A and B are shown apart, each in its own frame.
Chain A
Amino acid sequence: GESVGLHLPTLSVQEGDNSIINCAYSNSASDYFIWYKQESGKGPQFIIDIRSNMDKRQGQRVTVLLNKTVKHLSLQIAATQPGDSAVYFCAETLGGNQFYFGTGTSLTVIP
């Protein structure tokens, strides 16, 4: 299901540190998950995805972990840079049509 965006979690990290952004999804049957990055004034941008038959997937500086037992998704960003400052959304879907987005987490990188 959907989350109502009343409160946006925030995360502040020092430049160069690793960041971990967490997301709890709602539908245990969801079979595909995506992380998006949204910079101010722009649309969400695809970062990385993972299918439900996997528990880990790595990209360039980013890793997504999926724990289906507790319906938890995380995004790890290695060596966080100022350009990583943005709002990060997780999205879940079953069948690929209805995508449900989390409330988002605001990441601020401190130089």
Chain B
Amino acid sequence: DAGVIQSPRHEVTEMGQEVTLRCKPISGHNSLFWYRQTMMRGLELLIYFNNNVPIDDSGMPEDRFSAKMPNASFSTLKIQPSEPRDSAVYFCASRATGPQETQYFGPGTRLLVL
């Protein structure tokens, strides 16, 4: 299994630009999570999906952030417009059926907004 796949691995953009991060979960996993990691705040859950349906987006910072999961094998996290304070590493994780199945993380996307 290739594991969770994220793209791009690195993204540098200018303030005000739209940024789209992509994630392909592990095949057969039915839950998908988006996290943001910074030195100041550690690892924060932004949103998660069960069976492609957003369940809890309370961690999404503001309306500039949106996430979609059009099918079981693909999800996007979009920031529009981006701001320098959005600079962070964004991780996607997926989990199989069952509340106590562990989450498996992708390699992350390092975002730098200038």
Contact = CB atoms under 8 A, between A and B. Distances in A.
Interface of A: 2-6, 31-32, 34, 36, 42-46, 49, 51, 89, 93, 95-104
Interface in B28-74: 31, 33, 38-45, 48, 50, 55-56
Interface of B: 4, 31, 33, 38-45, 48, 50, 55-56, 91, 93, 95, 98-108
A4 B102 contact: no
A101 B48 CA distance: 15
A43 B45 contact: no
Most buried by A among B40, B41, B102: B102
A99 B42 contact: no
Contact of A32 (B31, B56, B100, B107): B100
B99 A96 contact: yes
Contacts of B106: 43
B48 A97 contact: yes
A45 B42 contact: no
Contacts, number: 66
A32 B45 contact: no
Given A43-B108, A97-B50, A31 B42 contact: no
B42 A42 contact: no
A95 B55 CA distance: 13
Contact of A43 (B42, B55, B105): B105
A93 B56 CA distance: 15
Contact of B102 (A5, A49, A97): A49
A4 B108 CA distance: 20
Contacts of B91: 43-44
Contacts of A2: 42, 44
Given A51-B100, A97-B55, A45 B105 contact: yes
